Chain A
Amino acid sequence: MTTTPRRYADPYLAGVCLGLVLLAAFVFAGRGLGASGAFASSAAGIVAAASPARAAANPYFARYLGGDGPWREWLLFEIAGVIAGGFLSALFAGRLRAAIERGPNLGRRSRLLYAFGGGSVMGVGAVLARGCTSGLALTGGALLSVGAWLFMMAAFAGAYVFAPLVNKAWR
């Protein structure tokens, strides 16, 4: 492992590579990338394990329980790959590091609260919108889906309007 972290890749080059990965998903899997679906599927799996009747009666979770069940969902395998790929990339670039990354004026505990809170709020939004930045904005954006472009513009709008209110977190 190198001791000095390598510089990040050029964003346009990384973007073109990401686009080729997405294109490969279209060609070889007949679908795009995703992330929030993996969270939804595992949530459905845990609810089903705790209370099968309740999960089956819940129209949101029930759809993940059909077919091969919530633990054989395509996106779970893809997200396992994302974790492995991110780890390997950081390993080879000397960027593996236990840390809590935060703005210059935010304590570690507050940062973790912001992280958990922000994650929860994204969870609500992703359920309502049926996807997140990967599965809806990126995938649907490339396929010219109207809902994907609407979601993307709304998400950036929401973030820009709210950003000044969380100045403390990042500036």
Chain B
Amino acid sequence: MNPFVVAAMIGIAFGWTLERAGLGSAPKLAGQFYLTDLTVFKVMFSAIVTAMLGAFWLSRLGILDLSQVYIPETFLLPQLTGGLIFGIGFVMAGLCPGTSCVAAATGRGDGVMVMLGMFAGVLATGLAFAPLRDFYESTSRGSLTLPELLRIPAGVVVCAIVAMALIAFQFAERLEKRA
């Protein structure tokens, strides 16, 4: 099938799911950072666990060739710094880039402004890229994965992440009851 048709279909399912979860609404997302509504955490981690288990087992069963799937590359310092900056923007905006598109699509003016801001930020950083380039390319570790870093089998890492997620979900429920 045409890859752009696949992209659009996957996108429709992605946008639909985010909206159903309530992640097109900025005050709901912001609740994550004041521990009053942990929907962001619950959705994100159940998604990560589901896709991780799916990818692990489909690859074990020979259905999915993980060497054909692009694994986001690691650049330690840029991703640490970029993550901290991104988090600051996230709590100011109340939406991340993907959810801002859902907010905008459902009529939220704040979602449109987050999209415009995101575009402006990427454009400005891109135009000012020359002095940032050395830092951007620094501390490169290629497609390093947690099992490779920790030198333990992927199955053990997968089990540990599932266990951590289940414990964290219990915590999340307790925090929400308290709030």
Contact = CB atoms under 8 A, between A and B. Distances in A.
5 smallest CB-CB distances across A and B, nearest first, come from A123-B121, A81-B11, A119-B117, A19-B50, A158-B87
Chain A interface size range: 35 or more
Interface centre among B11, B38, B157 (most CB of A within 10 A): B11
A48 to B, nearest CB: 11
Contacts of A85: 11-17, 19, 102
13 contacts: A80-B11, A81-B10, A83-B104, A86-B15, A99-B109, A112-B109, A119-B121, A133-B90, A134-B97, A134-B98, A141-B44, A147-B75, A154-B80
Contact of A128 (B43, B74, B119, B132): B132
Given A22-B51, A59-B130, A158-B90, 14 more contacts: A26-B54, A28-B6, A35-B96, A46-B123, A79-B11, A80-B11, A90-B107, A95-B106, A101-B25, A118-B117, A119-B97, A128-B135, A130-B73, A159-B91
Nearest to A18: B47
Nearest to B91: A159
B129 A59 contact: yes
Given A120-B89, A138-B44, A152-B83, A115 B94 contact: yes
Interface string B145-179: 11111000010011000000000010000000000
A126 B127 CA distance: 14
A90 B106 contact: yes
B18 A18 contact: yes
B90 A155 contact: yes
A21 B79 contact: no
B44 A137 contact: yes
Contacts of B122: 36, 39-40, 43, 123, 126-127
Contacts of B100: 119
Contact of A11 (B43, B69, B110, B133): B43
A143 interface: yes
Interface in B15-50: 15-22, 24-27, 30-34, 38-39, 42-50
Interface in A4-27: 8-9, 11-12, 14-27
Interface centre among B71, B76, B102 (most CB of A within 10 A): B71
Nearest to A113: B113
Contacts, number: 524
Contact of A43 (B27, B44, B119): B119
A38 B1 CA distance: 21
A116 B120 contact: yes
B126 A119 contact: no
Contact of B107 (A58, A59, A99, A125): A99
A134 B102 contact: no
Interface string B54-97: 11001000011010111111111011111111111111111111
B11 to A, nearest CB: 2
Given A12-B169, A24-B13, A147-B79, A122 B50 contact: no
Interface in A99-156: 99-103, 111-112, 114-156
Contacts of A93: 19-20
Interface centre among B31, B126, B154 (most CB of A within 10 A): B126
A153 B83 contact: yes
